[in-house]
Amino acid sequence: MVAFGKKLKERQIQEWQGFYLNYKLMKKRVKQYAQQMEVGIQDRRHVLKDFSRMLDNQIEKTVLFILEQQGQLASRLTNLREQHDALEEMPEISQITELREAYRAVGQDLLKLLCFVEMNAIGLRKILKKFDKRFRYRFTDYYVKTRANHPYSQLQQVFKHVGLGAVVGAISRNLHELQDRQGSYLSIYDPPALPLQDPVVDSINAAVDRLSHSTNFLNFLAQHALIMQEELPAPTDERIDDERYHFMSLLLNLANTFLYMVNTYIIVPTADDYSMSLGAAATVCGIVIGAMAVAQVFSSVYFSAWSNRSYFRPLVFSSIVLFAGNTMYALAYDMSSLTVLILGRLCCGLGSARAVNRRYISDCVPLKIRMQASAGFVSASALGMACGPALAGILQTNFKIYKLTFNANTLPGWVMAVAWLVYLVWLWISFKEPSRDIEEPPASSSETVENGALEEGKQPLLITSEEKQEDDEDPEGDGSEEAPEESRKPATSIVSAYRLLTPSVKVQLLIYFMLKYAMEILLSESSVITTYYFSWSTSTVSIFLACLGLTVLPVNIVVGSYISNMFEDRQILLASEIMVCIGILLSFHMIIPYTIPQYVCSGLIMFVSAEVLEGVNLSLLSRVMSSRLSRGTYNGGLLSTEAGTIARVIADATITLAGYLGESRLLNITLLPSFLICVASIVATCFTYNSLY
């Protein structure tokens, strides 16, 4: 991996070399500004004015060249249109073929121009980021906001490229008309009988996608999946992705995600009753629920490493272990053994293959649908989280077959055992192991968001490893283009990975820990709390938890489509933390009697705010994570997964320990750590971002 400056030089189109943004010059100018300000030669106001003028000139040079190239492409398309019209009167196969090849030639030149725009957009984002980091000033916000919608600004041409869209449309439409449609008179504006299959158009659409994805619902939802994109893919990489992609295998990965989340939450409404039926206290449900998370702390590591070599075998192992774990969970009732019950849940945690699910999307799904697959991963998780408790509420029956008891406590185990057995058969028949022809270093098993855009004053969502790499290699802006080989190697252990964390990354992980802790306290103790205060039945608890789970997608629609377009991520982050804190405060039992509206409303505020916080937090986390943590087994995704899993373990242990003080004190005692951790995360957030800007 080389620094961005060197990468930019390698990927430049030689005949256009003089029209690129002069990234190296601007980088040196930033260093000169810093030196001049240190000795008092320049003040900040003059630096901002001078650098703004320099950027304006560089962008104008690039944009005028883009417009010139667009004009040449438009002129060629106009000539081809005339030939196309002439062929409609006297069509000849040979001339149609020649015309189609001419349109494809224009498409290839358009691809070169799109690559030119993309490299300049990345260079502009990087130099703005470097300036902000060097001078601790929000110059990016000022520059983009003042120029994004100004009538004389050319910035929109770089990031919105409206004119290029017209060229793309002209090429696609004409190639569509020249394709053999078997007598169909449909156009691209009508529902097509057959899709347009042309490699040039596919490449153009993929390039446009990389440039045009802005903050919307699908992108916001995909952030939750933390799917890492290691580099800006070349067209050859996209073809490799297409060869490795298998829809049924992707569907099986999403099914594994869904079933695992159902498995996690299906026991929550009945765990306290199950514990009591085996002679334990109701609050032992914390250990029963948390045992799965304890095992997941370890399973995340070996599944992350295993996915470097295979996807099929770890999924098979996961299904077998989960089948055995759920069977043990169900048999514990007739065996009257709390130990077997807990061992069954531990076994289920050892089958957590979410690292494999994420890794498969990252490695084997083409870029053009990777964001949709990431959003599907998150949707499957949210649906499983809602279906688990709902299914537990349905399984309210009691009967025996031979010596086996089937009731509300054991049926979740039996149902999930059967589900995993069916899944295992489906997996064995339908899964296709992707080829691994080229031996390559292990990539990330999970992390980061997909494509984004820098427009209307928002931070970019597309942060590639090239951009991150330079920040690691040249943190002081000294102009060096290449770092020692050691600085590019992935972490080899959890300890070495932790040492790579910057203060801002640690804050993001603290926030992730906090929201997972608060959510686990709310969900895991819900059955005990509602039974003690409101005498709720298992069905009522199940409905409450299912309704919480069903809020995930609607909330993300609102935040992803509207709120994230109006506010910066950091503003949403802090507001969400404050709302989580308010939800925790409202949950305390300070007013007698403790009412259902108070519990439901406070729980809803806490849960919804935590869901919003998770998406924004992961987006920011992807932008401050070292590039060395984007590769290998011990990557940033594993660290964030471990942080969340450990939070769940501690939360469930807190519930069990607090139970020894009595159920009357359980609510306030378990909420107090949540409140303190939330306050600490808010303080850390304010301190960190105030120091950066």
**Model confidence over 134-192: pLDDT tens digits?**
776 667 767 766 776 666 666 666 655 556 666 666 777 777 676 654 334 444 444 44
Helix, strand, or coil (residue 469): helix
In a domain, 358, yes or no: yes
In a domain, 322, yes or no: yes
pLDDT for 306 beyond 70: yes
pLDDT of residue 87: 74
pTM here is 0.66
pLDDT for 669 beyond 70: yes
In a domain, 482, yes or no: no
Q: Which amino acid is at 37?
A: M
Same domain, 544 and 427: yes
Same domain, 163 and 267: no
In a domain, 630, yes or no: yes
Quick one: tokens of 314? 């770890």
Same domain, 613 and 667: yes
Which range in 9-18, 47-56, 581-590 is most confidently predicted, on average pLDDT?
Answer: 581-590
Which range in 37-41, 328-332, 432-436 is most confidently predicted, on average pLDDT?
Answer: 328-332
Pairing of strands 404-406, 399-401: antiparallel
In a domain, 440, yes or no: no
Same domain, 203 and 284: no
Distances (CA, A) of 117 to 62, 156, 364, 444, 561: 9, 12, 27, 28, 26
Q: How far apart are CA 387 and CA 390, in angstroms?
A: 5
Q: How far apart are CA 254 and CA 256, in angstroms?
A: 5
Q: Residue with structure tokens 């705010």? A: 609
> What DSSP character marks residue 631?
B
Work out the average pLDDT over 95-100. Answer: 80
Quick one: tokens of 270? 């009945």
Q: Answer left, alpha or beta for residue 151, where phi above 0 means left and psi between -120 and 50 means alpha.
A: alpha
- CATH code for the domain in which residue 32 is found: 1.20.1050
Q: Which of 475, 498, 505 is nearest to 624 (CA)?
A: 505
Instruction: Find the range with the poorest average confidence among 34-38, 161-165, 174-178, 659-663.
Output: 161-165
Same domain, 552 and 604: yes
Same domain, 315 and 261: yes
Same domain, 169 and 297: no
Average pLDDT along the chain: 77
pLDDT for 478 beyond 50: no
pLDDT of residue 141: 64
Same domain, 297 and 174: no
pLDDT of residue 188: 45
Same domain, 275 and 348: yes
The C-alpha angle 181, 182, 186, rounded to 5 degrees, equals 45
Q: In this structure, are residues 296 and 349 in contact, taking their beta carbons and an 8 Å threshold?
A: yes
The C-alpha angle 523, 529, 535, rounded to 5 degrees, equals 125
pLDDT of residue 100: 82
Instruction: Find the range with the poorest average confidence among 398-412, 554-568, 657-671.
Output: 554-568
Sign of the dihedral through C-alpha 217, 220, 224, 225: positive
Q: Residue with structure tokens 């069916």? A: 422
In the chain, how many domains are there?
A: 2
Work out the average pLDDT over 241-260. Answer: 84
Task: Assign 349 a pLDDT band (cuts: 50, 70, 90).
Answer: very high
Same domain, 605 and 650: yes
Same domain, 77 and 212: yes
pLDDT for 676 beyond 60: yes
pLDDT of residue 421: 96
Higher pLDDT, 346 or 638: 346
pLDDT of residue 468: 42
Helix, strand, or coil (residue 408): coil
Same domain, 283 and 386: yes
pLDDT of residue 269: 92
Radius of gyration of the chain (CA): 28
Percent of all residues in the chain with a pLDDT value above 70, rounded to a whole number? 70
pLDDT of residue 217: 52
In a domain, 470, yes or no: no
In a domain, 460, yes or no: no
Task: Assign 322 a pLDDT band (cuts: 50, 70, 90).
Answer: very high
What's the number of CA atoms in the CB half-sphere (13 Å) around residue 649? 17
What's the number of CA atoms in the CB half-sphere (13 Å) around residue 251? 8
The DSSP bridge partners found for residue 401 are 404
Domain that holds residue 618: 247-432+498-688
Higher pLDDT, 482 or 171: 171
- CATH code for the domain in which residue 293 is found: 1.20.1250.20
In a domain, 483, yes or no: no
pLDDT of residue 221: 56
